[in-house]
Every structure is written in structure tokens, then in C-alpha cells.
Structure 1
Amino acid sequence: MIRVLVVDDDVRVARNHQGLVETLPGFTVVGVAHTAATALAQIRGHRPDLVLLDLHLPDASGIEVMRTLRAAAADDARRTDFLMITAVRDIAQVRDALHGGAVHYLLKPFPLSALRDQLERYAVARRQMDTEGEATQQDVDRLFGLLRPPGGRSLPKGLTSATVDLVAGVLRDTDGDLSASDVAERSGVSRVTARRYLEHLCADGRAELRMRYGTAGRPEHRYRWVA
């Protein structure tokens, strides 16, 4: 389980983020904090894997929280990751967050689907980093792409973020695996279109392809949500 601490000075926003995290398989919320002091205490007490950290806190900035923890844990093999969630658009703050090691920076307001997408990417990247062996350049590129995904304009030519979300939602809401025809029927797109988006999700690490071999003919391509 990925242990998450939610930190936001807005009680309603924190509750919404907590509710979303609790719906995701493989995630659990270990605490909620509304101040920097409480956040530091809960991070030290709960040792979360990931902190959803607001920059604007009443007693100190989220950047200060991250710096304090980074300095204290410099020699600690177990590191806490930070996903910044804020309305602060100052480029200096963005730079400080990146230099501090934030895995990503989400600007408010955003749809909860954007946070869900980032958490799913984080889960895939974390799982890949837990494997042993040497990394190729392709492995490294994929990990950094998962943690800091490009915007919708960088999707493969002909693909749109809305249809990515649509096809991903069909897989996400299904137990087991589906064929491209199944996905096409449930999403309302053509089979060819479904296949293209499924291949993109597989390349992105959020879905996987399985081959089902029958008694005769070509094996059937089956797709399963893994994020």
C-alpha cells in the first residue's frame, strides 16, 4: 500500500483529496493536516510514502515543510515523496519545489481526474523503481515521463486527452481484462480507435497487454488496467 498524507489549509479541499485517494486501489490515507507544524509531526509519526502538499499554509510554506524534511532525512534510505498541490503560480516557487525534489506540481483549480491520473502514474513509477537490475535509457525516460507527464499537446499525433480519459475509465472500472472490441463497445469509439488508445495506455505503463491463446487462430489481445 502507498501511504499518503494530505496537507491543505482548506478543510473542504483536504476532504476531497482524502476521499479521492481512498477510492484508489493500493493507496491509503494515514493522516490529514491543515498546518505546517501538524504536517511535520504527522510525517515524522506516520512516515508516509507520499505527501499531497499545499504551498499556502497558515504557519509556514509547503516549501519550508519539504526543505525541513529533506534536510532531516538526508541520510535516511527511506524518503518521502511530495506532490505539490497549490494555487501559487509564482515561477520561483515552482523552481523551489522542483529543486526540493517534488515529483510533480499541480495548479489549482484542477479536476479531481487530474489528481487521480497523477497518483496512478506515481503508483506505476514506484512499482517500476522497486524492481531490481540495471535501467536502460528507455526505462529512465519512461520513469521521468510517468512522474512528470507532458501536457495533452504532447500526446501521440491523433490522440486527445479526452478520449484517453474515456478509454482509461472503461479499463479502470472493469475487473479483469478486455479486448479492443469490448472497450470500443463500452466507450462508443471504433475498434481501431480503441486499439490505438489501449496501446498508448500500455506504453504509458497504466495498462498491460495479455495474449489469450485459443485452440485455433491468432491469439486475442486483452488489456488490463494496472495503475
Structure 2
Amino acid sequence: MIKVLVVDDDFMVAKIHSGYVARVDGFEIAGVAHTGADAIRAVDELRPELVLLDIYLPDMDGLSVLRELRASTARPSADPDVIVITAARDLDTVRGAIRGGALHYLIKPFSYEALRDQLENFRAMHQKLSGLPGDSPAAQQDVDQLFGTRTHRAAPPKGLATETAQIVERILRETTATDGDVSAAECADAAGVSRVSARKYLEHFVASGRAEVRLRYGGTGRPERRYRWIR
């Protein structure tokens, strides 16, 4: 089992994200932290393989936590990988996460499917690394496969057609170009597919970092998910 530490200042959000992780085969929650100091302490004590790290924390920002985890020489056996999970959308924060070595950057609010895809990517990379001999240098093909494991999410996963993905991408691009966004129902009408099918493609683009989702709140009922192209 891959141990995961969830770091979020919001107790309810942390609970939801922990529930998402628990639903994915091969992962378990090692602990939950609500401050940066608690996160660093939990990494030392719990030795998680993966940290889901929020940016907005009450005592220090998540990028400072990320830098501390990477800079410390006192924890050679506690050097977890990090996926940033945050509402922060500014490019400076995104750049900071990339430079700090984060595996991925998920913008809140995100769906269970979006996080599941990233966890499955991480599990595939983790299994590949575990299968390589530790006492010999990696061959180029091994390195290519490892980096391919991390980046294959850009292609439609099994069950999604490339042609339909291209249609949905075009709809997203055209809508965003006019400073708009689109719902799954609107995309379905434009693409000539079912709403459920359109949402699968839209969520795929969100999971791969090429689209973003925002919630539009109405008078009653659940908020509507609206999608925009960001790449």
C-alpha cells in the first residue's frame, strides 16, 4: 500500500480528499495535517510516499513546506513525492510548485476522477521504480518509460475515443476564446454525444491539466460545473 499524507487547512476538505484517496486501490491514508508545521512533522514521523499539499495554510504557505521537505538533509528516508492541491491559480505559484519538484498541480475544486487519475499515474511510476535494480544504472529505455508513465495522461485513457476528444477540445477552445465556459450539457449538444459522455471527456482534460472547472451556484440544487480551456 502507498501511504498518503493529506495536508489542508480546511477540516472538511481534508476529510473529502482522504475519502477520495481511500477509494483508490493500493493507497491508504497515513495521516492528515492542517498546518505547514504539522505537515513537516508528519512526514518525519509517518514516512508517507506521497503528500497531497495545499498552498493556503495558516502558518506557512505550501511552497515553503515543499521547499523544506526538499532541502532538509535530516530526512533521507522521508522524501515523499508531492501533488499540489489548491485553489491558487496564479502563475508564480504554479511555477514555484514545478520548481519545487511537485509531480502535478490540481486546482480546486476537482472531481474524484481527476485525483484518481493522478494517483493511478503515481502508482504506475512507483511500481516501475520498484521493479528496477537498485545497484545498476538505469538504461535510457527505463528512463523513457518512467517519464512516459508520468506524462501519458495527456492522451485519452482507455474507453475514450481520440476523435471525440478532439471535438470536445475544439469546443472548449472556441468557447474559451470568447471568454466563456461550457457545461457538460452544452458540450454534449455541440458535440452530438450524451451528457455523461461529454463530462468524461471534459474531466479528462481537467485531470490532464489542459482545462479547468469552476462551480456556478444557482438558487437551489447542486452547483453547475463549468469548463474552460487553459492551454
TM-score by length of 1: 0.63
Report the number of matched residues: 161
| Contact 2:5 2:51 survives alignment (8 Å) | yes
Alpha carbons 1:36, 1:57 under 8 Å: kept: yes
From the superposition, tell whether residues 73 and 56 of structure 1 become closer, same or farther in structure 2 (CA, over 3 Å).
Answer: same
Deviations 1:165-216 (A, max 9, x none): xxxxxxxxxxxxxxxxxxxxxxxxxxxxxxxxxxxxxxxxxxxxxxxxxxxx
Q: Which residue of 2 aligns with 1:158?
A: 163
* 1:99 Cα deviation after fit: 1.1
Structure 1 runs of 4+ aligned residues shifted over 6 Å read: 153-156
Please state how far the C-alpha of 1:73 moved relative to its aligned partner. Answer: 3.6
Give the unaligned 5+ runs of structure 1. 162-227
Question: What is the identity, as a one-letter code, of the residue corresponding to 2:70?
Answer: R
Determine if the alignment matches structure 1 residue 117 to structure 2 residue 121: no
> In structure 1, what residue type is equivalent to 2:106?
L
Q: What residue is the counterpart of 1:140 in the other structure? A: 143
In structure 2, the residue matched to 1:26 is 26
Quote the residue 1:85 is aligned against: 85
Q: Could you tell me which residue of structure 1 aligns to residue 42 of structure 2?
A: 42
Tell me how far 1:138 sits from its aligned partner: 4.5
Q: TM-score, normalised by structure 2?
A: 0.62
**Residues 73, 139 of structure 1: CA spacing in aligned structure 2 closer, same or farther, 3 A cutoff?**
same
* Alignment gaps of 5+ in structure 2: 167-231
Code of the aligned partner of 1:8: D
Q: Give the Cα separation in 2 of the matches to 1:44 and 1:77.
A: 9
TM-aligned CA deviation for residue 26 of structure 1: 1.4
Aligned-partner SS, 1:160: helix
Give, in angstroms, the shift of residue 159 of structure 1. Answer: 5.9
Tell me the alpha carbon deviations over residues 5-43 of structure 1, each in whole angstroms, 9 at most, x when there is no partner: 000112121111101111222111111111111111111
Distance 1:98 1:42 in 2: 23
In the alignment, which residue of structure 2 is the partner of 1:96? 96
- 8 A contact 1:104–1:147 mirrored in 2: no
* Alignment-derived partner of residue 130 in structure 1: 130
Distance 1:135 1:157, change over 3 A: farther
CA contact (8 A) 1:53 1:62 kept: yes
**SS of equivalent to 2:163:** coil
Which runs of structure 2 are paired with 1:71-82 in the superposition (5 Å)?
A: 71-73=71-73, 76=76, 78-82=78-82
Does the residue aligned with 2:76 lie in a helix, a strand or coil?
coil
Q: Percent identity?
A: 47
- Following the alignment from structure 2 to structure 1, what is the Cα–Cα distance between the partners of residues 3 and 19? 14
Q: Contact 2:87–2:107 at 8 Å: present in 1 too? A: yes
